[in-house]
A = this chain, B = another copy of it.
Amino acid sequence: MTAPRLTAWAVDGIPEVHPGDDLVALVGDALADEGIEHGDIVAVTSKIVSKAEGRVVAATDREDAITAETVRLVASRVHPNGVTRIVENRLGLVMAAAGVDASNVAEGTVLLLPEDPDATARTLASALRTRFGVEVGVVISDTAGRPWRDGQTDIAIGAAGIRVLDDLRGSTDAHGRRLDVTAPAVADEIAAVADLVKGKASGRPVAVVRGLGHLVGPVDLPGARALVRTGENDMFRMGTAEAIALGRRLERESRDADTE
């Protein structure tokens, strides 16, 4: 097996995106200037998807917007500037403020996450394949914090035409041992590569990642939603403080039931 050589770069020529803009055309035109090849993966910052979809709300409605995007409160913390809410949002993503973002948007507004990033990724991948006649993948990325680690990394919140999980379970290592639990979340790693070349403040919301053609496949492969782990399989479905409080409440309720 030859090791793949990976190259990645941020694409020039994406203008400021406004509600109603044709994202497929904007991204396609920028890529036409760059040249796009079979097996390329196009990584798009969720922000421009949200902008094209018009998912802008007034900053004064920020807290209401977070509430509307929230399926379940996971943890919250009071700090000097207000309350941080870590929530599970409509997309199954656990994020601070439900992913509602105030950076790189006009003053006085905040931006919600895209409506359905997997669907948008499929639309974009199909359109790019048709326009350029090559098989490409698409990742839609957003920035997320992590438990136990400082700082943020970009993750895939939408994907199409790639294997999001490079499932090695059942394959063997160089010693012939089975890699029983190994399944690299390659879509998230691709989002991370794209973040390194796009930067946060550069105004370049699209990157091309070349050299991972072995991960590219049919447009209708499972999307980034397949990377979401929720429910019983999630050992960290509540913040520690919230879970301790729940335990106290459950204990009080069972005591009250016993004494009735």
Contact = CB atoms under 8 A, between A and B. Distances in A.
B200 A103 contact: no
A203 B174 CA distance: 6
- Of A143, A193, A212, most buried by chain B (CB within 10 Å of CB) is A193
B201 A195 contact: no
A185 B104 contact: no
A58 interface: no
Nearest to A106: B175
Contact of A151 (B10, B185, B193, B239): B185
Interface string A1-27: 101111111101000000000000000
B153 A189 contact: yes
A33 interface: no
B234 A148 contact: yes
B12 A234 contact: no
Interface string A71-111: 00001010000000010000001100000001111110000
Interface residues of A, number: 89
Complex copy number for this chain? 2
A116 to B, nearest CB: 19
Interface string A156-197: 000000001100100111110101001111101110110111
B229 A201 contact: no
A123 interface: no
Contacts of A189: 153-154, 192-193, 195-196
B104 A175 contact: yes
B173 A104 contact: yes
B149 A103 contact: no
Interface in A120-170: 143, 146-155, 164-165, 168
A98 B155 CA distance: 24
A30 B172 CA distance: 25
A104 B201 contact: no
Contacts of A227: 149-151
Interface stretch (A49-57, A62-70, A243-251): A243-251
B235 A177 contact: no
A164 B193 CA distance: 15
Contact of A153 (B10, B173, B185): B185
13 contacts: A6-B6, A6-B9, A104-B177, A105-B175, A143-B184, A146-B147, A151-B185, A151-B186, A151-B227, A189-B196, A192-B193, A242-B243, A243-B247
